[in-house]
Amino acid sequence: MRKQIAAANWKMNLTLQQGEKLLDDIIALPHDLKEYQQAVFAVPFPYLAMAQAKISGKGSVFIAAQNCYNKKSGAFTGETSVEMLQSLGISYVVIGHSERREYFNESNQFLAEKVNICLEYHIHPIFCCGEALNIREAGTQNEFVARQLEESLFHLSAEQLQNIVIAYEPIWAIGTGKTATSEQAQEIHAFIRSLFAKKYGEAVAQNLSVLYGGSVKGSNAKELFLQLDVDGGLVGGASLNAEEFNTIITSLK
């Protein structure tokens, strides 16, 4: 069965003390994750070492960085290399989040370079794609998402692709309280999987985890995750509440 993932994206929130308490509270709750299920916490850079220490020995719980740079090292003040993340034992990196694309003008080619260096250091990219409201209203979301994926990922081999997690995030549903219906989510997740099936074959596509990210909450997670091609969620605001995120984790199919 494909990996099912509940991924928390804390974004730029919480103090160190608040983050420690939140992780403690979530870890203390019963999850009973199956061997194909994972909980992933994308925490701010200053908290990576703390978070990694907290989840030590917990086989189904992993820590992610929220970003990385596309160079191995050098005079890039303020940036964080994948080698640094690897030295901390970090398993995942969020690549191409809509906020990085919008506020920091990260291009598809730039993101392809980040993906390459993550794979070189054996860190799994959680690669984000998704459209803004005007694109959805124009009905061109499939073409838009296809271009994001093709320009950033289609240079990879089938073997490399097995180390990628896709996160589809309708930008119009992030932090707005709006959520794609379960049918809308399934429709575009199936389309994303079909793109990879055409390029890499059905077996590779069926093994690819595709997460939904856009106002996932405890109240809608189960319905979303029950969709055939939805393999979990990349969760923002709801991941800052222990009980709420625990409900999301236990909604994995």
How many Å apart are CA 163 and CA 26, to the nearest integer?
A: 26
Alpha helices in the chain (DSSP H): 16-28, 48-54, 82-87, 98-104, 108-120, 133-138, 141-153, 158-161, 182-200, 202-206, 221-225, 242-249
Among 97, 106, 124, 189, the active-site one is: 97
169 is catalytic: yes
Tokens of 62: 């992993």
How many Å apart are CA 101 and CA 167, to the nearest integer?
A: 14
How many Å apart are CA 174 and CA 213, to the nearest integer?
A: 8
Question: What pairs with residue 95 in β-bridges?
Answer: 127
Among all chains, which residue has been given the structure tokens 């959805």?
A: 136
How many Å apart are CA 30 and CA 249, to the nearest integer?
A: 10
97 is catalytic: yes
Among all chains, which residue has been given the structure tokens 């398993």?
A: 91
Other beta carbons less than 10 A from residue 53's beta carbon: 13
**Cβ contacts of residue 68 below 8 Å, gap of 6+?**
80, 81, 82, 85, 93, 95, 114, 117, 118, 123
Among 131, 169, 189, 244, the active-site one is: 169
Query: Which residues form the catalytic set?
Result: 97, 169
